[in-house]
Structure 1
C-alpha cells in the first residue's frame, strides 16, 4: 500500500481536510449560493466541535471573499451564524497580516496590521457572543482576538475561557486556544501551558479530542527549548527530547485514552489529531505500525497542520518525513 502511496502522494492542503460536505457547501457558497453554507451549519446542530471546525473553514473564505456572507446577511439580517463568520473572517485576515514567523522576524508594520484587524475581530466577536448565547465558539473567537495584546488580557482571557467551557466543558478549540495563549512563545510559560493541556486531557472522557492536547504542549516545548529560530536545523535535539521516557509515557497514555472509546471520527479535528499522533510517534520513534494505520486514515489530507512547521521549514516536508519513516 505504501509503495503506491509514495508514488502518487501529493498533500491536499484544503483546510476542510476530510469533511467533504464542508468542501461542497463552501464551494457552492463562494459561487453565490450562500444557502448551502446556511443549510450545512443548520444540519451540524449542537455538535460543538464539528460546528466550530466548519465555521473556522467557512470563516477563512469569509475573510478573503466576503460577498457571499454579505448576501446572506442581506437576506437574513442579524443571523447569528453570519456574526460568527464576520469575526472569524477578520481573525483570518489578522493572522495572515502577522504571518507565522517569530516576533524577531515580524516587522512593525505586520504587528500594526495584526493589532488593527484583531481589534475589529474583538468587536465582531462581542456581537457574535450576543447573538449566539448558547454557542461556546464565539467565546473562542473572543479568546483568539486577545492574542494580539495578550499581556493586557491576562485577566480577561480566563473569563472568556470559562464562558466557553461552561457551554461545553471539553470544547477542543477553547482548550487549544488556552494552550496557545499560555505557551511561552505567547503570553505564558511552559508550566502554564502544560497545565492548560493536561487538565482537560485528564478530565475529559475517553475519545475526546482534548485528550491529545499534551502532544501539542510537547511540540511547543521542543520548539522553544531546542532551536526556536533555527527550526529544522535543530531537529536532532528536538527528537532527543521526544525520546525521554516520561515523554514517551505521556504520548502512549494520550493515544490509549483517545482510542479507548472506539475509532475517532475523521471529521471535526479528526485528521489534525491523527497528524499530531503520527508526528509524536515519529519524533519518539514509537509505534511505527500504528503510525502506518494513522497515515492510511489520513490519506493525502494535510490541510494546515502547523505542528509540522515546528520541526521542518514546510508542513509538507514534515508530512513526507513522517510518511517515509512509517514505511
Structure 2
C-alpha cells in the first residue's frame, strides 16, 4: 500500500520539472548569463511559462546577483534584464519580511519589506518601458503593492487592468489578485473567492486559472481553522474540505483544467497537480486519482506554499499526501 510513498524522494528545487530552466539557471549562477537570456528568448510569448521562468531566475538573482549585474553591464537595455531585476528585488523584499503572520513580524521587517518593494516597483516600470507587451512587469508591480495595500487599492485595480489587457487569463496576474484580496492581506473571503471564481469561470477550457478556486479554499481554511496553529488544526481544516459543495467545486475546476487534454508539467503544471492532490487528500476523495497525480509529480515539490497552510514544512505535507495515495 505504501510503495509509492516509500519510493518518494523530495526535490525542493524551485524549477520543479522544468529541467531546461534548471540547467539555464545553474549556468547563469556559474557566470553564463547568456544561458538565461537564451532560455527566456526561446520562451517567446508563452506568458505563463515565461512568468514561471522569470520567477525562478529572479529568486536566483535575488540570492546571488553577480550574474545579473554582469548581464546588465553588458546589455543595459535588455528587457529581460529589467524584468529579472524587478523580480530579484521583490524576492529580496519577501525574504526581508519573512513568512510569519503580521503579528509575528517586526517593524524593522515591515520597513525593509516596504523599501525593497518600492525599489521593485521602480524596476518594474523600467521593464514595462522596454517590453510594453509583457504582462510580467505588471505582475511584479501588483506584488509590490502587498507592502502598502491599504492605500493602493485603486492602483492595484489599474495595474490589474494593464496586466489582463496583455494576457486576459495570465495565471500570475490572477493569483496575485486572489492573494491581495484574501482576508489575511487586504480583502475578505468574499472578495478572494470572487477574484478566483471570476477568471476560472470565464477562462477557456484547459486554462490554468480554472484551478484558482482551490487556492481560495486553501486560504479560507487556513484563516478560519487555525491560522497560527497549522498542523494542530488539520482535522478542522480537513472537515471543511469534506463538504459536498467544496468537493463539487474542486471536481469542476479539475475537469475544466484537464478538459483540453492532460496539462503539461512545466509552467504551472506541477504546482496545480500538487493543489489537486492536496485538496483530494483533505477531502479524502479520489485516492486512485491522487496516486496518479503523485506519480506525475514525481519528486518535484519545488516551493508549493499551499502545503505550508496545513503543515509546518512543505515536504511533510507532500509526504503525507503521497502516503495516503499509496
Q: TM-score, normalised by structure 2?
A: 0.98
Instruction: Measure, in 1, the Cα distance between the counterparts of 2:42 and 2:268.
Output: 18
Per-residue CA distance 1:198-217 (angstroms, 9 max, x = gap): 00000111111000000000
Instruction: Measure, in 2, the Cα distance between the counterparts of 1:260 and 1:128.
Output: 35
- The Cα of 1:9 is off from its aligned counterpart by 2.2
2:316 partner SS = helix
Instruction: Measure, in 1, the Cα distance between the counterparts of 2:201 and 2:7.
Output: 40
Instruction: Measure, in 2, the Cα distance between the counterparts of 1:33 and 1:68.
Output: 7
- Counterpart of 2:53? 54
- Determine whether 1:167 maps to 2:151: no
- Determine whether 1:214 maps to 2:213: yes
1:261 partner SS = coil
1:155 partner SS = helix
Instruction: Measure, in 2, the Cα distance between the counterparts of 1:236 and 1:31.
Output: 45
Superposed, which structure 2 residues align to 1:267-278 within 5 Å?
Answer: 267-278=266-277
Per-residue CA distance 1:180-226 (angstroms, 9 max, x = gap): 00000000000000000000000111111000000000000000001
- Counterpart of 1:303? 302
Superposed, which structure 2 residues align to 1:128-167 within 5 Å?
Answer: 128-167=127-166
- Counterpart of 1:287? 286
- The Cα of 1:158 is off from its aligned counterpart by 0.8
- Counterpart of 2:69? 70
Instruction: Measure, in 1, the Cα distance between the counterparts of 2:278 and 2:307.
Output: 8
Contact 2:211/2:257 (<8 A) preserved: yes
| Larger deviation, residues 180-189 vs 128-137 | 128-137
Instruction: Measure, in 1, the Cα distance between the counterparts of 2:99 and 2:64.
Output: 22
- Counterpart of 2:119? 120
Q: TM-score, normalised by structure 1?
A: 0.98
- Counterpart of 1:233? 232
1:18 partner SS = coil
1:318 partner SS = helix
Structure 1: any 5+ residue segments left out of the alignment? none
Structure with larger RCO (C-alpha < 8 A, sep 6+): 2
Instruction: Measure, in 1, the Cα distance between the counterparts of 2:203 and 2:237.
Output: 29
Per-residue CA distance 1:271-308 (angstroms, 9 max, x = gap): 00000000000011111111001000100100001100
Superposed, which structure 2 residues align to 1:194-213 within 5 Å?
Answer: 194-213=193-212
Instruction: Measure, in 2, the Cα distance between the counterparts of 1:69 and 1:49.
Output: 22
- The Cα of 1:2 is off from its aligned counterpart by 5.5
| Larger deviation, residues 292-301 vs 61-70 | 61-70
Contact 2:142/2:156 (<8 A) preserved: yes
| Count of residue pairs brought into register by the alignment | 326
Per-residue CA distance 1:106-141 (angstroms, 9 max, x = gap): 111111111111111111111111111000110000
- Determine whether 1:36 maps to 2:35: yes
- The Cα of 1:95 is off from its aligned counterpart by 0.5
1:202 partner SS = helix
Instruction: Measure, in 2, the Cα distance between the counterparts of 1:311 and 1:74.
Output: 44
- Determine whether 1:25 maps to 2:24: yes
Instruction: Measure, in 2, the Cα distance between the counterparts of 1:2 and 1:85.
Output: 42
- Determine whether 1:251 maps to 2:250: yes
